[in-house]
Structure 1
Amino acid sequence: MYNIIYIGYQFKVTPLQPGVEILIAELGYAGFESFVETEEGVTAYIQKEEWNGDILNDIQILNSDEFEISYTFDDIEQVNWNEEWEKNFSPIVVDDACSVRAPFHEKPETTYDIVIEPKMSFGTGHHETTHMMIQHILNNDFKDKSVLDMGCGTGVLAILAEMKGARPIDAVDFDNWCYVNSIENVERNNCEHITVIEGDASVLSNKKYDVIIANINRNILLKDMAVYAACLNKKGLLFLSGFYKEDIPMIQQACEKHMLKFQEKLERNNWVSLKFLN
């Protein structure tokens, strides 16, 4: 049997949030493929064959004056991801209406019950941005709407959109781990109207949607705003998240440049989510 050897980095982060979330995002871009949040920070894993001694050189948060981060690392053979998640993944309930849980959790009494096995993908519902996006979907009409879930992570937002009556739905993520995990979660929730696509905004050419959900980060949102605007049907809705309160003017200016009109703001622990109308 072939055993994959991973290198595990144990990071201690102060303050934990938003430090851990920023660190995970930067590590993901650097090639780390899996993460387990801990009481002190996060443990990040990368396959040894993908590792090099300069792997952390471009992790900007390590040089930030706003956070104190220390780490150790060692070789780890055969990581049992399911066991790691069972120890660390707890179910959530949003507005007493939507639950997001793993298969081993007891089924709650909510209108919408999403069962995911998140592995190491983003978007379990625990982070403020995913939580707010779930709130947006709960509070808006999705029946028979065509939907794009951009940066879908685990696919949880696309799954909820289908539960709310949306169809058809495209769930897009450039990360192969997220792509595979979203397919698994779509099947696990018996969804029939979701197409999972591996790629970035370049796959959206000639596509049109009634609703676009984009929970990514500020820089990617700004870079791809013209594409989202071009893909949005008249009277269509655009929901954005993945950025801080301080970023609102920049995001709003980019939206208004493409004639997208601000409708609503949700805020949670300095993270925000905005709704725009085409």
Structure 2
Amino acid sequence: MAIVYLEYNFKIIPLQPATDILIAELGDAGFESFVETEEGLLAYILKEEWKEGLLDDLFALQHPDFKISWTSTEIEQQNWNAEWEKNFHPIQVGGRCMVRAPFHDPIDVEFDIVIEPKMSFGTGHHETTHMMLQHILDHDFEGKSVLDMGCGTGVLAILANKKGATPVEAIDIDEWCVINTQENIERNACLTIHVEQGTSDLLTGRKYDVILANINRNILLDDIPMYANCLNKGGALFLSGFYLQDLDAISAKCAAHGLEFEKKLEKNNWISAKYVN
């Protein structure tokens, strides 16, 4: 039986910051994947997850300075490939890492990552993923144990593994993300990465040198206590998926659990921050 998604086609005026705000809110509402277009945004949610009134209380849709209209249609999972191929272009991060699809030609870089995202989030194009990849490039991962929480396509776990991290675990609540991560792990010959489906409840009793979590503000705030408990002394926690205005709340929650803010990256009002214990 084919998995059926609903595709919402949002027309947005002006595009920014409305598009970024809408993506964050739709992510909280259960939408899984997003493709930015010249006129706005395509957003995807499993049909079985949709419910009446899902969009009624979204701030972006009520804001007087934003003009947002939308239509929706059903799309089967196997039809996604043609859509993302039209919109997925290779990216480079820090001149050292390339994230590309299987149909893109490779170039000579230190870390060549091949991702087939399908319905999963994390191609490197979104500001949050791009900044997390930058953090990974700047950090020493040799021999470090790593968790990629909310792994999406697995791109963060894959780069960490390519930089020498072992063991590496990747966790996502969504079954399709788990399947997609496993496919991308095999595609990049990072076969020692272990993938699981679940939430932070899986983390009880586990320990890591590095935790990567690119999710959203509310989930991060809920899960930071668990991340702190799981982080080895001298470890690093990298967080993204939130805005500049959320940084104080994120940092305060980290500080309350013994994690010190070290540095941040900022791109189009999105933030990726590093904390250490």
Tell me if TM exceeds 0.5.
yes
Residue matched to 2:72: 73
Residue matched to 2:111: 112
Deviation at 1:59, TM superposition (A): 3.7
Q: Residues 171 and 34 (structure 1 numbering): CA distance in 2 closer, same or farther, change over 3 Å?
A: same
What SS does the corresponding residue of 1:192 show, helix, strand or coil? Answer: coil
The count of aligned residue pairs is: 277
Deviation at 1:58, TM superposition (A): 4.5
Counterparts of 1:120-269 in structure 2 under 5 Å?
120-269=119-268
Q: Residues 51 and 227 (structure 1 numbering): CA distance in 2 closer, same or farther, change over 3 Å?
A: closer
CA deviation string 1:57-84 (max 9, x = no partner): 3544322345321112345578621111
What SS does the corresponding residue of 1:42 show, helix, strand or coil? Answer: strand
Range moving further from structure 2, 11-20 or 171-180: 11-20
Which stretches in structure 1 are left out of the alignment for 5+ residues? none
The answer to whether the 8 Å contact 1:36/1:84 transfers is no
What SS does the corresponding residue of 2:117 show, helix, strand or coil? Answer: coil
Deviation at 1:132, TM superposition (A): 1.0
Supply the distance in 1 between the matched residues of 2:144 and 2:3 (Cα, whole angstroms). 43
Which stretches in structure 2 are left out of the alignment for 5+ residues? none
Supply the distance in 2 between the matched residues of 1:94 and 1:194 (Cα, whole angstroms). 22
Residue matched to 2:15: 16
Supply the distance in 2 between the matched residues of 1:4 and 1:251 (Cα, whole angstroms). 35
Supply the distance in 1 between the matched residues of 2:97 and 2:47 (Cα, whole angstroms). 39
Question: Which AA in structure 1 matches 2:268?
Answer: N
Residue matched to 1:86: 85
Supply the distance in 2 between the matched residues of 1:193 and 1:76 (Cα, whole angstroms). 34
Deviation at 1:44, TM superposition (A): 3.0
Supply the distance in 2 between the matched residues of 1:79 and 1:159 (Cα, whole angstroms). 24
The answer to whether the 8 Å contact 2:33/2:121 transfers is no
Q: Residues 65 and 115 (structure 1 numbering): CA distance in 2 closer, same or farther, change over 3 Å?
A: same
State TM-score, norm by structure 2: 0.91
Q: Residues 141 and 66 (structure 1 numbering): CA distance in 2 closer, same or farther, change over 3 Å?
A: farther
Counterparts of 1:21-36 in structure 2 under 5 Å?
21-36=20-35
* Identity among equivalent pairs (%): 62
Residue matched to 1:40: 39
Q: Residues 269 and 35 (structure 1 numbering): CA distance in 2 closer, same or farther, change over 3 Å?
A: closer
Question: Which AA in structure 2 matches 1:227?
Answer: M
Supply the distance in 2 between the matched residues of 1:33 and 1:137 (Cα, whole angstroms). 24
Deviation at 1:49, TM superposition (A): 6.0
Supply the distance in 2 between the matched residues of 1:22 and 1:198 (Cα, whole angstroms). 27
RMSD value, Cα: 2.2
Deviation at 1:253, TM superposition (A): 1.1
The answer to whether the 8 Å contact 1:96/1:110 transfers is yes
Q: Residues 77 and 142 (structure 1 numbering): CA distance in 2 closer, same or farther, change over 3 Å?
A: closer
